[in-house]
Structure 1
Amino acid sequence: MNDVKTVITEQFKNFGIIRRISKYEEKATYQSHYLGLLWQVLNPAIQIGIYYLVFGLGMKRKDIDGVPYIIWMLVGIIAWFFINSSILGESNSIYKQIGMVSKMKFPVSILPTVNMASNFKSYRWMMLILFVSMFAVGIYPNVYWVQYFYYLFCMFAFLFAFGILNSTISVLVRDYHIMLQSILRLLFYLSGPIWEFQRIFAGTRHAWMTRLLELNPIYYIIDGFRDSLLYGKWFWEKGVQTIFFWLVVGVLLILGSHIHMKFRARFMDFM
């Protein structure tokens, strides 16, 4: 537990550095592009349009449980874009910046958080588009919207715990980052951002698969956002999933912090 305490303390002590580096990375990424930071919104918006054409108009889906499909999809896919880009970016964060770390004095553990902070700006703009779209179709704030911040915290906690683990393993085993990309492609279809995987197993002898897939932490977050913004359900109504989610986050954080603290003094040796 001392490793967990150390890693978390380093995030708070270096909050200012995290903000400055994340802003620098945003500008550095798009400085040679004519549209600059506008690509943070355009890129996901184009992908959303493609998915809507295929899974919405192409499959003739008008609504899901009374909610327009485009709104239902936006809630899930905006969260997915942030989660996916953060997991992949965090995984490669230490390996990519190890040269800078060797020249500057700040803890390596903040690099996954820096990446997550960089991606968060794009997420905020996409959420603004979502809220405008919801108001346009007559979906307005209610008491359940307060719960959105609980699931936002869940998303940050999961990404932080998973990021510490992934970034360390990626330095030790370079194949891990490539394997993670393949796993995330599969999880895209099993985490519910664009379709309901429950319908595949509904009414079959494999219905137990639904319960198993619902234990996926990413699904818990995406479904939680929909419960908060669209369906008016509280998180304690999903007791088993909630307990399992926080157990997974706890295990990832303890394991990731321990491995990180054990090997970070020798990262340069593995490069």
Structure 2
Amino acid sequence: MNDVKTVLIEQIKNFGTISRISKYEERATYQSHYLGLVWQFLNPAIQVGIYYIVFGIGVNRGRLMEGTPYIIWMLIGIIAWFFINNSLLGGSNSIYSKVGMVSKMKFPVSILPTVNMFSNFVSYRAMMGVLLISMFVFNVNPSIYWLQYFYYFICMIAFLFSFGILNSTITVLVRDYHIMLQSVLRLLFYLSGAIWNFQTLIQGESNRWVVRVLELNPIYYIIDGFRDSFLSKSWFWEKGSQTMFFWLVILLVMIVGSHLHMKFRARFIDFI
């Protein structure tokens, strides 16, 4: 637990540095593009359009999903997925890709996954604005359930931070891990509930165990929680076992990730 405490304190003490580096990376990434930072919004918007045509119109045929227009149901899930996917992949490669900075930096290397997460937040914030406008257009009215959005947002940040520390460390030690993670995330996209509801897709009592296993996915817990909030379905404490399992996973990953990070980070340059 001392390693966890050290890593957390480093994030708090270097919050200003995290913010400055993330803003610099945002500008540097798109500085040679005519549209600049507009691509952080335009790229996911194009993907949303493609997924809606394929799954909303093609597969679902425009039917309601849990009493909600499919486009709203999908947006809630896919916006969270884009942020999670980009942060996991970027965070995994955040230390390895900064080999030059790692050798000269005057701040702890543990903040680099957090820097990447901050960089992706601009796109997430813009897409959330699109979601709110879309819900207004389709008459999805605010309710008291919306308040728990902040709880699930904290869950998402905790998930990304803990896995960011673990993934970035393993990627330095085993370079193939980043490539494997890309493949795993492609699979998780279809198992996270971002674009379809596997609870209605998987029918039959004999297959209910499959649904229960899929519901243990931390990404599903976050996405379904956002839908519970915006579509006013249920409170997070009504998912007692799922909530407990989610935070146990986060705690375990945080402990293991922090321990590995503190153990090997003095030798990161040698591994890289």
Q: Common fold, TM-score beyond 0.5?
A: yes
1:112 correspondence with 2:103: no
How far has the Cα of 1:231 moved from its partner? 3.0
> Structure 2: 5+ residue runs without aligned partners?
none
| Pair 1:46-2:32 in alignment | no
How far apart, in 1, do the equivalents of 2:232 and 2:196 lie?
16
- Per the alignment, residue 227 of structure 1 pairs with 228
TM-score, length-scaled by structure 1: 0.99
The answer to whether the 8 A contact 2:102-2:269 is kept is: no
Within the alignment, does 1:23 sit opposite 2:23 as a pair? Answer: yes
Show structure 1 runs of 5+ residues with no match: none
Asked if the contact 1:75/1:226 (under 8 Å) is kept, the reply is: yes
In 2, Cα distance between equivalents of 1:57 and 1:84: 24
The question of whether the paired residues in 1 share the 8 Å contact of 2:143 and 2:232 is answered with: no
Supply the distance in 2 between the matched residues of 1:207 and 1:104 (Cα, whole angstroms).
Answer: 51
What aligned pairs does 1:1-271 form with structure 2 within 5 A after superposition? 1-59=1-59, 60-271=61-272
State the 4+ residue runs in structure 1 displaced beyond 3 angstroms. none
- Report deviation, 1:39: 0.3
CA distance in 2, matches of 1:81, 1:268: 31
**SS where residue 231 of structure 2 aligns?**
helix
Q: Distance in 1 between matches of 2:41 and 2:26?
A: 13
Return the letter of the residue paired with 1:11. Answer: Q
Q: Secondary structure at the match of 2:186?
A: helix
Following superposition, the deviation at residue 204 of structure 1 comes to: 4.8
What is the distance in 2 between the residues matched to 1:218 and 1:157?
Answer: 12
Q: Secondary structure at the match of 2:239?
A: helix
When structure 1 is superposed on structure 2, of 98-107 and 31-40 the one drifting more is 98-107
CA deviation vs aligned residue, 1:223-268 (integer Å, no higher than 9, x gap): 0000000133100111000000000000000000000000000001
Distance (whole Å) between structure 2 residues aligned to residue 88 and residue 165 of structure 1: 12
Counterpart-to-counterpart distance in 2, 1:197 and 1:65 = 12
Select between 104-113 and 55-64 the one with higher mean Cα deviation. 55-64
Identity %: 72
- Give the residue type in structure 1 aligned to 2:122: K
Mapped to 2, the partners of 1:142 and 1:98 lie a distance apart of 47
The superposition leaves residues 121-162 of structure 1 with CA deviations (integer Å, 9 ceiling, x where unpaired) of 100000000000000111121111000000000000000000
Measured against aligned partners, the alpha-carbon deviations of 1:186-207 in whole angstroms (never above 9, x if no partner) come to: 0000000000112332215222
- Contact 1:189–1:197 (CA under 8 A) maintained in structure 2: no
Alpha-carbon shift at residue 58 of structure 1 (Å): 0.8
